[in-house]
Amino acid sequence: MPTVSVIIPAYNQARYLGAAIRSVLEQSHQDFELIVVDDGSTDETASVCGQFDDARIRYLYQDNAGLSAARNTGLHCCQGAYITFLDADDLFLPDKLRLLLDRMEADPALGLVAGQAIPIDEDGCQIGKVFDQAPPADASRWLLANPLHVGSVLLRREWQERVGFFDESLRSYEDWDYWLRLALAGCPMGWVDQPVSLYRFHTRQMTRNGEQMTQATFAVLDKVFSRPDLPPAWQERRSEAYASAHLRAAAQAYLAQDFARAQQAMADAVRSNPRLLEHDARELARRVAAWADSPKISRPLDFLESIYTHLPPELAPLARRRNRDLARAALQKVFEARRRGDVETERHYLMWVLRYQPSWLWNRGVLALALRHGWRALRMERI
Question: 220: closest CA among 172, 188, 182, 160?
Answer: 172
Least confident range from 183-187, 197-201, 294-298, 356-360: namely 356-360
Q: How far apart are CA 75 and CA 82, in angstroms?
A: 11
Q: How far apart are CA 93 and CA 117, in angstroms?
A: 9
Q: Where are the domains of the chain?
A: 4-201, 207-320, 322-383
pTM of the model: 0.91
**Between 54 and 336, where is the model more confident?**
54
Q: Listing from the earlier edge strand, what are the strands of the sheet with 57-62?
A: 57-62, 32-39, 4-10, 82-85, 153-156, 112-120, 189-200, 91-92
Determine if residue 260 is left, alpha or beta; phi over 0 gives left, psi from -120 to 50 gives alpha, anything else beta: alpha
Residue 255 scores a pLDDT above 50 = yes
What confidence tens digit (pLDDT) does each residue in 104-162 have?
999 999 999 999 999 999 999 998 889 999 999 999 999 999 999 999 999 999 999 99
Pairing of strands 32-39, 91-92: unpaired
Q: Which fold has domain 4-201?
A: Spore Coat Polysaccharide Biosynthesis Protein SpsA; Chain A (3.90.550)
What confidence tens digit (pLDDT) does each residue in 340-362 have?
888 788 888 888 888 888 776 65
Residue 324 scores a pLDDT above 60 = yes
Pairing of strands 153-156, 82-85: antiparallel
Name the helix (H) or strand (E) containing 18.
helix 14-25
Q: How many residues does the chain have?
A: 383
Mean pLDDT of 9-13: 96
Q: Judge contact between 234 and 224, C-beta under 8 A.
A: yes
Residue 271, C-beta contacts closer than 8 angstroms, at least 6 positions apart:
314
The residues with which 5 forms a beta bridge, in sequence order, are 33, 83
Measuring CA to CA, how many Å separate 121 from each of 82, 115, 218?
29, 20, 28
